[in-house]
Amino acid sequence: MNFAERMKKIKPSATLAFNAKALELKAAGIDVTSLAVGEPDAPTPLHICEAAKKAIDDNFTKYTAVPGIMELRQAVCHYFQRQYNVSAKPENVILTTGGKQSLANTLFVMLNDGDDVLLPCPYWTSYPDLIRLAGGNPVLVPASSAKGFRIDVSDLEKAVTPKTRMIILNSPSNPTGVAYTQEEVDAMVKWCFERDIFVLADEIYDQLVYDGAPVSAACWWEKNPEKIAIVNGLSKAFSMPGWRVGYTLAHADLIKQSSKLQGQMTSHMCSIAQKAALAALDGSYDCVEEMRRDFLRRRDLAMAEISTWPGVVCPKPGGAFYLFPDMSALLTPEMPDGTAVCTYLLEKARVVCVPGEAFGAPNCIRLSYSVSDETLMDALRRMKEALYH
């Protein structure tokens, strides 16, 4: 068959592929531990599930407005008010089928063919493909493990091109766990605004931070709404990845354009999930805090173990639920990169990790600590044993 040229620009999502691989091995009865998972291990809180069941019983099962029901758009505004003291109106919010669709909408609405997009690297695996699909070129801004995978304006200065139109800033970061401080975010956003570079801030892990309060670029949106969009969603904070709930906060005109696009592509997010999302955003955040504490404990357990691995450089993550060790010191001609390390670990330790290649860092591997303490420690010990036998 002859497929469209655009399909040559993208690969399958590596993170989803590795999740699927781990599930497949388990289904085949093979005793593997997956540290490839990109989702919280906790169940979706009960009060959220109850709201969805009620939506079904109430027959809230018909089409809704494309950007979502008004109460939910309002609930997103409450979120920004409550969390970041930022005042937004429902016209500034669109609900989407996951943060991924918020990103895709914004890229499609904002980019012209040939526009450059600054992308701090390591990056989340879907960014380059989404940028390319929207006609843009990812321009990588390298961040080394030696510098804790952090970038600052001097790195942006080195990477910027005359065609730079946008930046994707993801904090806390998947895969590195880097969580920028408010001052760091402020400096980078200011630098972009001065050069008329649109900021796409992916804050999907904003609630999962371990050193201090959540940080957002939303205060900059309040000052310059036409220069920035904030993407977030409920997959991580409320453990709802399968429900597909994302949202964008942006200028009302950008929201209108996103609605136009989404109205032709997918319409609105699922009506039942909208009611569940409303219960989540307007309900108690105790469940979020409980999950955050579990992740914090596991991060510390995992860091304590990994810091005993000679040669491995693993900056301590400040957020999200991933570790991104740089395995360079252990690479050999037989095991030349992170992909080979993952293959070896699967064979020898029966642990699934995601190769750093998927995130633009081929010497690294990504492991998720979104598993029980026992599973995590057992997997890490097996990995150490395999790597240093």
Q: Does 98 contact ligand PMP by CB under 6 A?
A: yes
Instruction: Tell me, residue by residue from 24 to 53, as one string, x for binding to ligand GLU by CB under 6 A and - for no binding.
Output: --------------xx--------------
What is the per-residue DSSP string for 311-373? T-B-PPPSBTTEE--B-GGG--SSS-SHHHHHHHHHHHH-EE-EEGGGGT-TTBEEEE--S-H
User: Is the CB of residue 330 less than 8 Å from the CB of residue 383?
Assistant: no
Which 3 state secondary structure label does DSSP give 46?
helix
Contacts of 231 (CB under 8 A, 6+ apart): 99, 102, 103, 106, 200, 201, 202, 203, 204, 246, 247, 248
List the 198-202 sheet strands across, edge first: 93-96, 246-249, 228-233, 198-202, 164-170, 116-121, 137-142
Annotate 310-331 with b (16+ C-beta within 10 A) or e (fewer).
eebbbbbbbbbbbbbbbbeebb
Q: Does 174 contact ligand GLU by CB under 6 A?
A: yes
Closest CA to 101 of 240, 328, 265, 228: 265
Instruction: Tell me, residue by residue from 76 to 115, as one string, x for binding to ligand GLU by CB under 6 A and - for no binding.
Output: ----------------------------------------
Q: Does 20 contact ligand GLU by CB under 6 A?
A: no
Residue number, nearest CB to ligand PMP: 98
CB nearer to ligand GLU: give 168 or 255: 168
CB nearer to ligand PMP: give 242 or 311: 242
User: Of these partners, ligand PMP, ligand GLU, none, which one is at the site of residue 16 (CB under 5 to 8 Å by kind)?
Assistant: ligand GLU
User: Of these partners, ligand PMP, ligand GLU, none, which one is at the site of residue 105 (CB under 5 to 8 Å by kind)?
Assistant: none
Work out how close the CB of 38 gets to ligand GLU at its nearest, in angstroms, rounded to a whole number: 2
Rounded to whole angstroms, how far apart are CA atoms 305 and 173?
A: 22
Angle at 255 between CA 253 and CA 257, to 5 degrees: 70
Q: Does 174 contact ligand PMP by CB under 6 A?
A: yes
Q: Does 40 contact ligand PMP by CB under 6 A?
A: no
Q: Does 99 contact ligand PMP by CB under 6 A?
A: yes
Q: Does 165 contact ligand PMP by CB under 6 A?
A: no
User: Of these partners, ligand PMP, ligand GLU, none, which one is at the site of residue 99 (CB under 5 to 8 Å by kind)?
Assistant: ligand PMP
The region of 97-105, 134-142, 249-257, 376-384 touching ligand PMP under the rule CB under 6 A is: 97-105
Rounded to whole angstroms, how far apart are CA atoms 344 and 327?
A: 13
Q: Does 122 contact ligand PMP by CB under 6 A?
A: no
Tell which one of 19, 44, 235, 257 touches ligand PMP (CB under 6 A): 235
> Which residues lie near ligand PMP (CB under 6 A)?
38, 98-100, 124, 170, 174, 202, 204, 233, 235, 241, 246
> Which residues lie near ligand GLU (CB under 6 A)?
13, 15-16, 38-39, 126, 174
